[in-house]
Chain A
Amino acid sequence: MVKEIENDLGKILISEEVIETVAGLSAMECYGLVGMSSKNMQDGIADLLGWDNLSKGVSVEIEEDEVKVKLNIVVEYGTNIHEVANNIIERVKYTLKNRVGIEVNNIDINVQGVRIGNGTE
């Protein structure tokens, strides 16, 4: 599916992949998020994904006017996970609205893993 934006002169079509990548990139700017994990739940393992395929951790559903984003993330141990997730929601919503021009109706965050940094015992 693609997201359509219409104006006087014509249509703008934005593919799911674009939204996924933008959402993924903007989420990664957020403090506390240390990785995305594969969105394929059947794998059962929250594997850290690298930069190249970060959109794998993001899924976007477009139905008519509704845009839903789901992010599977890994956060740093010792951060306030709830607040980090909130920050990500805010950031993704803001970025998609201002950079891509779409209103997202729903952003779900799946915290699939906690990474324990090496500075702590």
Chain B
Amino acid sequence: MAQNDIIKSIDGKLFKKMCYGALNRLKDQQSYIDSLNVFPVPDGDTGTNMLLTFQEAVENLDQVRSERIDKLTQGLSKGALMGARGNSGVILSQLLRGFSEANKTKKVMSNEDLIKSLSMAAKIAYQGVLKPVEGTILTVSRKAAKRAGDLQDIDDIDELLKKVIESTHKALNKTPDQLPQLKEAGVVDAGGQGYLTILEGMREGLTGKIEVKEEKVVKKEVSEEEVDLKYAYCTQTLINVKDKSVEIDDIKNDIEQFGDSLMVVGDEEIIKIHIHTNHPGIILEYALKTGSLKDIKIDNMKLQNAEMREKHEMKQKEEYEEMKEQSTEDYDEKLIVNSKVKDLNRQTAIIAVAKGKGIKNILMELGVDLIIDGGQSMNPSINDFVEAIEKIEQDSIIVLPNNKNIISAAQQASSLSDKNISIVETKAIPQAIAALLVFNDQDDLDNIKENMEAEIKKVKTIEITYAVKNSKVNGYDIKENDVLGLVNGTIKAVGSSELDVIEEIIESDWEDEDLITIYYGDGASEDDAEKIKNKFTDKSSDAEIEIYKGGQPLYPYIISLE
């Protein structure tokens, strides 16, 4: 390796860069690490926990008013200790403590010190657990340390780290052999991956790759300044909406032309507008048409100094996040009662489980009394069902779970209730829609169930989603982020683009369908859905095809064929 300069020691500045590098890498890999979680833990957030812990550690590092390695590693360790989140966070804090212990009284870090740090990190981490399990971050850190111990004679720290990282990677790849749970799921240990990510990031910081990322940040600030010069007034107002039919998207479209940094958020009752504009008056006049105004705020941004602006933006962002949270909470509420159906005085009520605003609305249009928020990977609890059942006045209830993993919760809930509950085992939204179309309130519960079940069999459901991790199913070798095409819950096609996958399914599973409905979800647009529609028209010119905005998460498209 003919590097220009050999890095023989790490001084304070360089160490900081290494930590920033690690933090950046960790940020990039956060969701990947989260997706590796299989070890029986309450929640899959190893990546998030490690990131938050390391973030706090780096923040504390920045507070250190010294360039000495001992002070800096101590700061890092202390920050991690205070900010430790979750099991993996606590382990990380111990690893960093090892780093700090190894560098006591050191002004700069030599290659030997680094080797000692890695070994101390593993040693201290091992002390904190009663019965160390092999195949975890502990194993990975130990092997990294062992490898480093054999590399005493390498002067170049970059080269040293490179070799250590190679071994760490190998150790990580062996974790599935050590821990059966990992093997079963076909993943490596999440914490171990986190440790590798940190080492990789440190090396990136060491060799200077990190500079690029810092530049990016600087550029962004510059462009924001330009924006601020273009539009002078930051204008904000809350609107108490008169007309409930007002769509946030419409407002956005209407005032977009008057400025930028536009944010329009809210719900049926209250909407917040935030815009940078040169004509605050026009914005306020427009807002007045929508409803009465509250908390109007207009700031001349040109007069504020840079620091003030930064603080202000932060606050706005917080407020906006808060608003956003509130407004999503509104239609993500656990239980939504459909008030329109209530007046019909029906003898049988219907409860359905669904996710996505559009789909919920469609179901309510079709006469669902109550919707429980939930779906794939967001299963409602038995308790949610019990609450839902209690909310319904009628004694006779149809439940549409709309996911095979939710059926058992629905069954258990129904056994807890005295009411007459019939569960129609729908496994996807299109089945629920088909079932709702044959609902006849005059019939008795058993007949309704029978009719619905017969109807469900006629519907074919295609679901398009993305693989969250590498795995092998049905003979398909699936890579993370591959597009998966499921027909009635079974994987039938795997590919790299949504359109290709759909085309493959159309080719292999076509059965002369004449009614096709496409529900496009988060991450898909109406234009994309139109393209899919064309694929179907190519296949069968007389099929009737409808497109709806489902707004469901995880599945860009759910397609029903009848």
Contacts and interface: CB of A to CB of B under 8 A. Distances in A.
Given A8-B415, A80-B90, A87-B90, A28 B130 contact: yes
A34 interface: yes
Nearest to A89: B42
Interface string B95-125: 0011001000000000000000000100110
A79 B86 CA distance: 12
B61 interface: no
B133 interface: yes
Contact of A32 (B129, B131, B415): B129
B180 interface: no
Contacts of A56: none
Interface in B5-42: 40-42
Contacts of A34: 127-130
A79 B42 contact: no
B89 interface: yes
A31 B124 contact: no
Contact of A91 (B41, B101, B128): B41
A7 B340 CA distance: 37
Nearest to A95: B40
B97 A78 contact: yes
A113 to B, nearest CB: 13
Given A31-B87, A78-B94, A119 B127 contact: yes
Contacts of A98: 40
Contacts of B133: 29
Nearest to B415: A8
Given A79-B90, A83-B85, A31 B129 contact: yes
B210 to A, nearest CB: 28
A105 to B, nearest CB: 14
Nearest to A78: B97
A70 interface: no
Given A91-B41, A117-B124, A80 B82 contact: yes
A42 interface: no
B93 interface: yes
Contact of B84 (A8, A76, A79, A120): A79
Contact of A94 (B41, B81, B82, B85): B41
Given A83-B84, A83-B89, A119-B101, A33 B130 contact: yes
B90 A83 contact: yes
A3 interface: no
A34 B85 CA distance: 18
Interface residues of B, number: 27
A8 B415 CA distance: 9
Interface residues of A, number: 28
Interface string A75-89: 010111001100100
Contacts of B86: 83, 87
Contact of A28 (B97, B120, B123, B131): B131
Given A32-B129, A33-B129, A94-B41, A84 B90 contact: yes
A93 interface: yes
A30 interface: yes
Nearest to A92: B42
Interface string A10-32: 00000000000000000011111
Interface in A47-104: 51, 76, 78-80, 83-84, 87, 90-91, 93-95, 98
A119 B128 contact: no
Given A83-B84, A94-B41, A120 B130 contact: no
B127 A31 contact: no
B94 to A, nearest CB: 6
B390 to A, nearest CB: 18
B85 A76 contact: no
B128 A31 contact: yes
A118 B127 CA distance: 8
Contact of A119 (B82, B84, B85, B120): B120
Given A31-B129, A33-B129, A119-B120, A94 B90 contact: no
B129 A93 contact: no
Nearest to A48: B130
A78 B90 CA distance: 10
B409 to A, nearest CB: 14
B42 A78 contact: no
A8 B416 CA distance: 10
A79 B130 contact: no
A76 B128 contact: yes
Given A83-B85, A94-B42, A35 B130 contact: yes
A32 B84 CA distance: 11
A90 B199 CA distance: 29
B42 A90 contact: yes
Given A51-B131, A79-B90, 8 more contacts: A31-B128, A34-B129, A76-B129, A78-B124, A79-B84, A80-B84, A117-B124, A119-B98
Interface of A: 7-8, 28-35, 51, 76, 78-80, 83-84, 87, 90-91, 93-95, 98, 117-120
Interface of B: 40-42, 81-82, 84-87, 89-91, 93-94, 97-98, 101, 120, 123-124, 127-131, 133, 415
7 contacts: A30-B87, A79-B90, A83-B86, A87-B87, A119-B127, A120-B101, A120-B124
Closest 4 CB pairs of A and B: A117-B127, A94-B42, A76-B128, A80-B84
